[in-house]
Structure 1
């Protein structure tokens, strides 16, 4: 149990860094970590992936909220790119979370890995992510992107326990935003995904009753992750904006590759 707590605490620190630098909110780190811990401790089984996704969403509520406040104070948020996109993301997130409770754990793991693979491929092969010609002002979001795109982002992000940053960051990059601003905007756009997902997973009738759980949400694992992430968010905000744009975008894709390898190594 001590090893599990230490592992979660350590990766919670990493989650804090990725939340500020990449707008992840923690999902791409916490899902594999929580799933791995549950698979080798006292609670393995078909629900491990659902618990990992649900716990990730709960952690993301706090992480993304704290990072949003930090980014707002530093003046990196642009209202036109946050609202009303966030409202449609919330709508899709509610549906996506509910759908995920009906999907088997193996299928959910495969979907998570496939999502990562598609995203990595898109970032590497399609122009406009690794390097972008910054436009002044950047392009605005179209109505179709806000409505249908926002709903789709929420649907996929909440279903897989990620904040949607892997869709919102490339989207904003291709509108001409620098990496620091695109990742900053991912935090407030992750909040509706996290809140909707947490509520659905916490109240899901398909969740088995277990000590220390609220529905599918593992409260102990979530607390350990937050103990590591919150202090790190406060420290990581000091280096945001100092990372060169090309290095920032390359590191973003590299982290996704590492997470995909870890998931495959765990038997996805």
Structure 2
């Protein structure tokens, strides 16, 4: 075991803890925690146009050992499973935003190929780094987003009257997919920033960002299925680095709650919620960095 793996194993719960999963109380608590994570992901996804990975990944990092995930593989399984849940959360949120005519499908179609390529590349990068390194990338990424949400709602300066085309579009979209795959997120915050900076109304940017989540999550999930295929010591129900039981439980609740977040986004000024979410991200980011 290399130094990074030893560091990860030192801080993560022992796999031996999975012996308690058969206990009804332990299993019930795990399922309840997964449902709670799904509710938080669904609400955040609808409200901010994000895929919910900032909620799902940290929850899975602490819950997956209870499902038998080797501590060395926790970060990879957390990111892969998070991406799988984002597929359905994103579709549900997009449908709700589309009902309010707040989704620019032309943007989704034109950006999709480049975003997908970036996501696939991000999955390949994840395959080349250790679980501890992947967790650290997530921690610093979350910390950066926490700063964004904790700032007063930014008055984004418009830098263009339309979204970029050609090589700039390919570069931005590819980078969006790469970062999102490494963090296990839907890329909603970055998509919203780019669209508003290029003149899109905020609600239309959020609705379109929700759709971008599925474009990122589908190839990302396939990538983590592929790079984790054949890995030893994965728990029951895992296909590659995607744990299907955890994904199903989280998705069930997030799909139910996502429309509530969408309704809140269209009815309220979410300044307070931005700060609450920012504080949550700050705690998660610092905790992940300290843990690994």
- Fold similarity call, TM over 0.5: yes
The equivalent of 2:284 in structure 1 is 262
Secondary structure of the 1:186 match is helix
**Conserved? CA contact 2:54–2:185, under 8 Å:** yes
Query: Of residues 182, 199, 207 in structure 1, which corresponds to 2:231?
Result: 207
Structure having the higher helix fraction is 2
Query: Of residues 10, 15, 21 in structure 1, which corresponds to 2:36?
Result: 10
- Greater alpha carbon shift after TM alignment, 197-206 vs 157-166: 197-206
- Matching of residues 110-121 of structure 1 within 5 Å: 110-121=136-147
Query: Of residues 47, 50, 62 in structure 1, which corresponds to 2:73?
Result: 47
Deviation (angstroms), 1:102: 2.2
* 1:12-67 Cα distance to aligned partner (Å, 9 max, x none): 11111111111121111100001111246643411001010000000001110111
Deviation (angstroms), 1:82: 2.5
How many angstroms apart in 1 are the aligned matches of 2:226 and 2:211? 24
C-alpha RMSD over aligned residues? 2.5
Deviation (angstroms), 1:95: 0.9
* 1:187-229 Cα distance to aligned partner (Å, 9 max, x none): 1111121000111111224633431111111111111112211
The equivalent of 1:151 in structure 2 is 174
| Residue 238, structure 1, aligned to residue 263, structure 2 | yes
Gap runs ≥5 in structure 2: 1-26
**Conserved? CA contact 1:98–1:200, under 8 Å:** yes
Deviation (angstroms), 1:4: 0.8
Change (3 A) 1:242 1:101: same
Change (3 A) 1:74 1:100: same
- Scaled by the length of structure 2, the TM-score of the pair is 0.80
Structure number with larger C-alpha Rg: 2
The equivalent of 2:17 in structure 1 is none
Gap runs ≥5 in structure 1: none
How many angstroms apart in 2 are the aligned matches of 1:253 and 1:158? 25
Secondary structure of the 1:240 match is helix
Q: What is the aligned residue count? A: 261
The equivalent of 2:56 in structure 1 is 30
Change (3 A) 1:206 1:157: farther
Secondary structure of the 1:68 match is helix
- Matching of residues 1-268 of structure 1 within 5 Å: 1-39=27-65, 42-121=68-147, 130-132=154-156, 139-143=161-165, 144-204=167-227, 205=229, 207-208=231-232, 209-244=234-269, 247-248=270-271, 251-252=273-274, 254-266=276-288, 267-268=291-292
Deviation (angstroms), 1:75: 0.3
Deviation (angstroms), 1:236: 3.3
How many angstroms apart in 1 are the aligned matches of 2:285 and 2:147? 17
* 1:152-191 Cα distance to aligned partner (Å, 9 max, x none): 1101101221111131122122223343222211111111
How many angstroms apart in 2 are the aligned matches of 1:123 and 1:236? 17
